[in-house]
Structure 1
Amino acid sequence: MREREANRTDMVGDAGIARGDVTPVLRAPTSSGQVDPDFDRLVRLAAAATDAPAAILAMIDARGRWSVQAQFGIDAAQAAAALSGKGLAALAVRADVNIAVHGQTLGTLSVLYPSEAPAPAPERIARLEDVAALAATVLALRDRSQAGARAEAALVHAETRRALALEAAALASWVWNPRSGVIECDAFLPQLFNLPPATRVRARDIAAAIDRRDIGRTRRLFQEALHGSDDYSGEYRVRGSEPPRWLAARGRVVERDAAGRPTLVFGVNYDITERRTAEESQRFLLRELNHRVKNTLATVQALASQTVRHASDPHQFLDAFSQRLRALGVAHGLLSEHEWRGIGIRELARQELTPFDETDAPRISITGPDVRLTPDQALGLALVLHELASNALKYGALSVPQGKVSLSWSIRSGKGEKRLVLKWAESGGPKVSPPEHHGFGSILIRRSLAKVISSEVRHEYLPAGVRAEISMPLEGAPDHNP
């Protein structure tokens, strides 16, 4: 019999894990020279609870190496010797209890007694098990805390990407409560008006930031919307900006009280300085851009109008509307970079789905030949992909760690035309059941490509995961860019 087995007693089931072939690794002290205070408390508690003169807390890493995390009654070298099975002359009787979290053994808690002492009584072993259970709880809480910190960091990164996308598209959304005079807005809105950073501003501060030459006309148009027409559209310069900065605004009264007074107004602002100051040689391009912007704003207004109907409060509306506006803004920005001649589907898919994926361990696969989309196809598909990914993150495959999403597409020929067919497939998520009521997100998935003639969208809630198939006419040959 090996010396290690002769010099120790394992008291609880399989808790005595053989370590004779494993080299112990002493845990390095922290920068302050202190070991983990929680682990120190645990070994002290274990020794006190079992009337033992010494105790050891050891952990195992991913490579199967054991390390002493804390010891009581002996020094680190003695603890390492005891851990490796060499034993100690004065302390030869030992009892071990596993530390397990979610069924996985992460370490052991051991107590040592003098060599002449009898085997620990069952009640002492029961106390040691209680302390080991407490150690497992500490480890589980730490894991949850770290996971929460990672999730919070990911949320901050996603919000940063969203804000950058909105800023790149030069669009800022806002919700105004005429009764309180407070505007809930994107952080980009105060920047447009040269105001301090904020997500809540007073309407009078916005009015004060408009150039005096334009404030009269702006107020008149806005009052007309408030007192009957509902829709507002205007352009004005920002006070004190040199060269002059021009902003455009589109707004709509979406809620009135019984007396007809407006209680909720939503809108968007965007920078139009470049359009206002463009040279004569750019007029044709500017007219085309203006046409596209108006179409986009019409879509934005429809999005906001429907979103607010399904939102329970302004905060929920602003969040949902901003996310959809971000998806539209990404497509708008890509189209602007290509002078509205169309963009590649691969680039659009990556830009739209990146905020929903994990950088370190991607869970969304994107495959298919690159195909150039028309502006209407790109804008419609951007909203469809956003809603599919958003629903997957909230309720579907992306709501659980093991879930995955596959986006693929191919080109099909038939009946004298080529069609682009995209497939969205979720797997590994919660069991899916068809919703009793379809929200605006489901409506967007089915109708976002309404402007693309002969397009088809099939959206299915299968038990194994959500499926969607999108088919649209293909103009021209596919690109072969990487």
Structure 2
Amino acid sequence: MQDDRTNAINIAEDSDNGAHRRGPRDADFDRLASLAATLMTAPAALLTLADAHGRQIVQAHVGTSAAEALGLAERFLASDPAEARDRTFLLHAGAPIVASGRTVGALLVLDGGERPAPDLDKLEQLQDIAALAGSLVVLRDRSQAGARAEAALFHAETRRAIALEAAALASWVWDPRTGVVECDTLLPELFNMPSAATMRARDIVVAIDRRDIGKTRKIFQEALKGSDDYSGEYRIRGFDPPRWLAARGRVVERDADGRPTLVFGVNYDITERRSAEERQRLLLREINHRVKNTLATVQALATQTVRHAREPREFLDAFSQRLRALGLAHGLLSEYEWRGIGIRDLARLELSPFDDAESPRIAAIGPDALLSADQTLGLALILHELASNALKYGALSVPAGKVAVSWTVKGSAGDKQLELEWVESGGPKVSPPAHHGFGSILIRRSLAKVISSEVTHEFPAEGVRAHISMPLGETLEA
């Protein structure tokens, strides 16, 4: 009998990996254990299966308590045949449980005493019951694998949805045969349509700005005819400034005749990117325009400076300082993308080289106001020339001298005027110049490009004065 048990089961476990626990109840395995006991007219039966670590567990039992079933399983599956004897039960018959070509457990029929070995028919029937148990194991594993795959698919779909949402991507699936587009909730929003889970392709086409529809249709038709991949950008009707969308799609299925049957794709908002590109183009055009004007200004500065200079050193000093003043204004305009700068920033930038930070002698006071690019460059040269003259001949040429620069903004929105005063005091007594040098010419003519501007330059005995008047666009907040 012991040899029959060993040959029939052939899954002897060592003492460390024996059956030490009861598996979860399963009605199907319980029925098979009961059927085996009935087949052999035996009082008890056990069905054991290997767990994930290869240890045999009691999956079903009849005719014994749970605690007793655990002990019996350990004895009958021990590698030492002597351990298989028990005063209450002896092994009557057994069959291995095989799943996917691998032995995963055993079906054991127990009796209370010695009895003749079962005939071959019953042993074959017992093996059939064990085979059913093996089939149940395979089905259970496949079911669990399917559940894991379904869970993995759900997690992947969740990650995809989160990624699309985070990237503000609207996904869609289009069936060209029906014209129906299945989509997420973001797609109708991008096309300025009511929320929906499906849309009609022709409604999407109608929503595209007519300036872009011809090019968009052509590119899309090329993808449908054979290139498969589609990529385009277009504006949406009803937005000012325009809303720009990008679309990326791919034909993923075709019928036997090559006609597309399924197209996947995404749309996303690129308005900010297109606006940035447009600003960049405008900035480049402005820079090109300014560079030409600046070159012309530099050429004029060089020509006039050398004409009024008495020696090369005087020319180099005067020209380099005027270039520096122009360069400072250019640098500030570049930082603000040539959209204009505040007069406070300009005054601080151009006058600081002529002042002493520890003991200031130049006071600049007034509300901030936005200067255009032409106003910025013109006023920069004027402030530089006034400060340079004050340092050489006027108030800044003596320790006690001071300069007050003040300005006001007059008028209402759309008709504002900047009035700037330059007043020197505490310097040497002023005498009107016998002839006007190039610096004086720059002061009077630097704003010639600014329409309705006016510059006066006076030389009273108590100190040089200048008055500048020019139109403004807007006043900046303090």
**TM-score (norm: length of structure 1):** 0.43
Q: State the structure with bigger RCO (CA 8 A, min sep 6), 1 or 2.
A: 1
Q: Which has the larger Rg? A: 2
**TM-score (norm: length of structure 2):** 0.43
